Amino acid sequence: MNASEKAEATRIACWQPEWAASRSHRDEFLSRLAQTASSAADGGATLLITPEMSATGYLLGLARTSELAEPADGALADGVREIARRTGVAIVYGWPELTGEGIHNSVQLVDAAGAVTARYRKTHLHGEFDTSVFTAGDQLVIQAKVGALTVGLLVCYDVEFPETVRAHALAGTDLLVVPTALARPWEFVAQTLVPARAFESQLFVAYVNWYSSGPNGYCGLSRVIGPDGRARADCGGARAGTLLFAEVDREDLGTARRITPYLLDRRPELYGTAR
């Protein structure tokens, strides 16, 4: 690899924390995030990715979720922006976003200077909790630049639809960031489906989950998958508190697309409404 190719690589960090209902307090989250972002910076990462609803936890019920909901420019955002500025690390975090339309299951990307560069509202709501608490977003492809990378955002269930990932690939997303709250017994999603999504749409996917014990707890399995469908890094059997590092190199996108030219060989005129 020559010097120009090395310059294309971006080092990212994925945080797999332990979920606990008692950790839904804003100040505690910001304290833990500050420590994690500092560790990410020490490890050479320029982007830190956290799970779905990382600021509050998931499945808290309507009353508690409503109590914790904040606007996109609230005190939580101020705290994350200060951490990003202090550590020099861009941060993706999730929280219940309060708007005039209701509460959204949202993620926000704050750059290393502390500016909000992207905000995504989960478009595909899953199950009774999501549909009873959240209002679905109506904009699928949200992107921002992190260094040389075009970063796109989805949340959890969104990635289980091939159309969502393909839309990002066609729009030029290099790294698709997917904060999630994947519980057992759905390990198949992380282990099989996510690599398939990365391979068939030939982009990087960072899938970042919680961990908790028990048969229905969050299964962890956070991972970064390359455009060839192979893991660049994964948590393996690691549990809570894992900080996973991976290199994302745009050169790998071109290589994968030359070997398996799915995007080039598409025939959308044949697909009808499935385009």
Residues classed as catalytic: 52, 122, 156
Half-sphere exposure in the Cβ direction for 182 (13 Å, CA) = 27
Q: Which helix (H) or strand (E) holds 34?
A: helix 26-42
* Separation CA 38–CA 50 (nearest Å): 14
* Parallel, antiparallel or unpaired: strands 204-208 and 223-225: antiparallel
Show the CA angle centred on residue 18, arms to residues 14 and 21, nearest 5°.
130
Torsion angle in degrees (nearest 10) through CA of 60, 62, 67, 69:
90
Q: In 3-state terms, what secondary structure has residue 133?
A: helix
C-alpha span between 53 and 118 (Å, rounded): 16
Q: Give the DSSP H/E element, type plus range, for residue 253.
A: helix 250-259
**Residues 143 and 173: beta-carbon distance below 8 Å:** yes
Say if CB 144 and CB 175 are below 8 A apart: no
